[in-house]
Structure 1
Amino acid sequence: MIHGHGDDAYLFTSAIKANFSTNIWYGAPLVGLKQHLFNSWDLIKSYPEASAESLRLELSIDLEVDVEQLIITNGATEAFYLIAQSFKGSKSCIVIPTFSEYEDACKLNEHEISFINWNELEEIKKFPDDLLWICNPNNPTGCILHKTALVNLLKINSDTTFILDEAYIDFTDDISSSIDLINDYKNLIIVKSLTKNFSIPGLRLGYLITNKTLVQKIEFYKAPWTVNSFAIEAGKYLLHHKNELLPSIKDYKSEKKKFTEKLSRISGLKIHNSKTPYFLVELEKSSAFELKKFLISEFGILIRDASNFRGLNSSFIRIATQSAKKNDLLIKALHKWSKLN
């Protein structure tokens, strides 16, 4: 982990009253999942399925794809490392600013890495790279790439394999998943997470979907038992109850709109546009490090210092919309900070 991540509450001894540093769905009702996992307790006495076969089968039915087009992974991050390993020594281009693990995985596997800014993505028609890494919707900006633009890029760059990270696809209604493109474009790999949208990041559960040839290539490097028994059972439970557990995008976006409107009235903050409930804020005074330290020590509030995203600087923080009550805690704290600066 070269660049580090958000949600680093474990580093602080003081209690965190509100955590804005993590961009997972905050409101999933998980009481039923908790009871299901308690009922599955005896599974820990045996090894888990080597490749999470039962979850893989149920997911294939849910997505209406061939089971041989899926690999279940220990969070989306395992998928990124497996892909980078299966293309060891390749040329990779990463669209920034974005999730740092793409770069970390590529460096570990001796890729020749280049970077382009998100706003250049549709301007460049032909990529000379073996792999192109895109987060859609993007983290941390909340920008989106529409399917028509993606299709154009896939067609023009048939020799480039596109890794499309859709970990946050359930956090927007401005685009939908590109899974329907998998069978038409052999140069597309989609990686998805079940941890952000269902609020289970501690269980580590994700998957990738692509054509059977690439699945075989990638699966060659996958160790057995990387997905534990509880994660497998949780995944099946979540698929069966997804309609009641997934966030209401309409309500989520409505709360985000109220939140950003209040934030925009605070002197010293520039709110960047986003298609998701998480977004960048640029500080016109002080630094992300200083603000983060102030909020933790004075209010027990944690934000994401976004200065370590490649392409950003010490003026950027990322905030994820929480409940109205917690959002108001941050608003009040930032008003105080603004007056002091």
Structure 2
Amino acid sequence: MLHGHGDDGYKYKQAIVANFSTNVWYGGQSEDLKNHLISNWDIIDSYPEASAESLIDLIAKDLKVDQEMLIATNGATEAFYLIAQCFKNQSSTIVIPTFSEYEDACRVNNHELFFTNWSDLTATTKFHTRLVWICNPNNPTGSILDPISLESLLDLNQNSTFIVDEAYIDFTDQITSSIDLIKKHKNLIIVKSLTKNFAIPGLRLGYLVSNKEMVQDIEFYKPPWTVNSLAIEAGKYLIEHKSKILPPVNYYKSASKKLQENLNKITGLKIHASKTSYFLIELEEISSFELKNYLISEFGILVRDASNFRGLNSSYIRIATLNEEKNQLLIDALKTWSNLNS
């Protein structure tokens, strides 16, 4: 992990009252899932399925694709490293600012790296690298690439394979998954995470979807048993009960819009528009490091210092919307900061 991540509350001695730094769905903790895993605790006495076969079977039925088009992974991050390893010593373009693990996985596997900004990405962009990495919706900006534009890119760049990370697809109502495009385009790999939308980042669970030939090539590099027994059991439960556990997008986005409107009234902050429940704030006179430490020390509030996203700098923090009570804590804290510095 070369660049690191944002949820670093473990570094601080004081209690975290409100954690805005992680864009995991704050309401996704399922007591029913907890009880289900406890009732299946004895499965850890044996090795897990080598390739999470029972989970793959359930996902395939849910997505209406063949099992041979899927690989279950230890979180989406394992998928990124497997893909980069499969294409070792080749070239990659990463659309930035975005999740750091694409770059980390590529560097470990000796890719020649190129970067292009989200603001420059259009339906007619031409790429000249073997791989193109796109987070859709994007982290940390909340930007989206619509399926029509993605299909145009796939058609225009048939010598490039596109890795589309849909970890946050359930955090927007502006687009839906592009999995159906896989049936028409051999140069598309979609990576899905079950950790953000179902709030189980500690269990590490995800999967990738592509054509059978691509999946076979990538699977060659995958060790057995990387998805543990409890994660497999959790995945099956979540797929079967997803309608009860997935984020209520309309409510979540409404709460985010209200939060953004309130923050936009505070002097010294510039709110960047987002299609998701998380968004960037640009700071006019203070660094992200300074503001983050102030909010922690004075209020026990943790925000995401976004300065370590390639393409951003120390003027940016990222906020993930929480419930109304905690959102108000952040608004009040930032008002206090603004008044002290105005």
Q: Confirm or deny a common fold (TM above 0.5).
A: yes
Match of 1:103? Answer: 103
Kindly state the Cα deviation for residue 124 of structure 1 after the two structures are TM-superposed.
5.3
3-state SS of the aligned residue for 1:14?
A: coil
SS of the equivalent of 2:134 reads strand
Give 1:46's aligned amino acid: S
Deviates more, 1:5-14 or 1:263-272: 5-14
- What are the ranges of 5 or more consecutive residues in structure 1 without an aligned counterpart? none
Q: Does 1:201 align with 2:208?
A: no
Aligned counterparts of 1:126 and 1:264: Cα–Cα separation in 2: 36
Partner residue in 2 for 1:38: 38
Say what the alpha-carbon RMSD is for the aligned residues: 0.8
Q: Secondary structure at the match of 1:202?
A: coil
Tell me the equivalent position of 1:128. 128
Distance in 2 between residues matched to 1:29 and 1:87, nearest whole Å:
36
Partner of 1:56: 56
SS in 1 for 2:263: helix
SS at match of 2:198: coil
Letter of the 1:108 counterpart: V
2:326 aligns with 326
Q: Amino acid of the residue matched to residue 181 of structure 1?
A: L
Residue equivalent to 1:335: 335
1:213 matched to which residue of 2?
Answer: 213
Distance 1:10 1:222 in 2: 31
- For residues 132-159 of structure 1, the C-alpha deviation after alignment (integer angstroms, 9 at most, x for no partner) is 0000000000000011111111001011
Instruction: Tell me, in whole angstroms, the C-alpha distance in 2 between the residues paired with 1:9 and 1:221.
Output: 34
SS in 2 for 1:273: coil
Q: Deviations over 1:145-200 (max 9, x none)?
A: 01111111100101100000000000001011000001100000000000100111
Match of 1:268 in 2: 268
TM superposition shift of 1:123? 6.6
Report the CA distance between 1:222 and its aligned residue: 0.5
Q: What is the CA-CA distance between 1:310 and the residue it aligns to?
A: 0.3
Q: Matched residues in 2 for 1:104 and 1:340: separation? A: 40
The alignment partner of 1:186 has SS state of coil
Alignment of 1:1-341 (within 5 A): 1-122=1-122, 125-341=125-341
Query: SS where residue 55 of structure 1 aligns?
Result: helix
Taking the aligned partners of 1:126 and 1:49, their CA distance within structure 2 comes to 41
The CA deviation string for residues 298-337 of structure 1, in whole angstroms up to 9 with x for no partner, is 1111000000000001000000000000000111111111
Partner Cα separation in structure 1 for residue 219 and residue 198 of structure 2: 26
Q: Which runs of 5+ in 2 are unaligned?
A: none
Alpha-carbon separation, structure 1, partners of 2:125 and 2:229 = 44
Q: Following TM superposition, by how much is the alpha carbon of 1:29 offset from its aligned partner in structure 2, in angstroms?
A: 4.6
Cα shift at 1:119: 1.3
- Distance apart, 1:125 and its partner CA: 2.8
Distance in structure 1 (CA, Å) of the matches to 2:171 and 2:128: 32
1:124, 1:110 → 2: CA distance? Answer: 28
Structure 2 distance, partners of 1:6, 1:51, is: 30
Give the total of aligned pairs. 341
C-alpha contact (below 8 Å) 2:124/2:156 kept by paired residues? no
1:288 CA displacement: 0.3
Deviations 1:84-134, CA, capped at 9 Å, x for gaps: 000001110000000000000000000000000001111753211000000
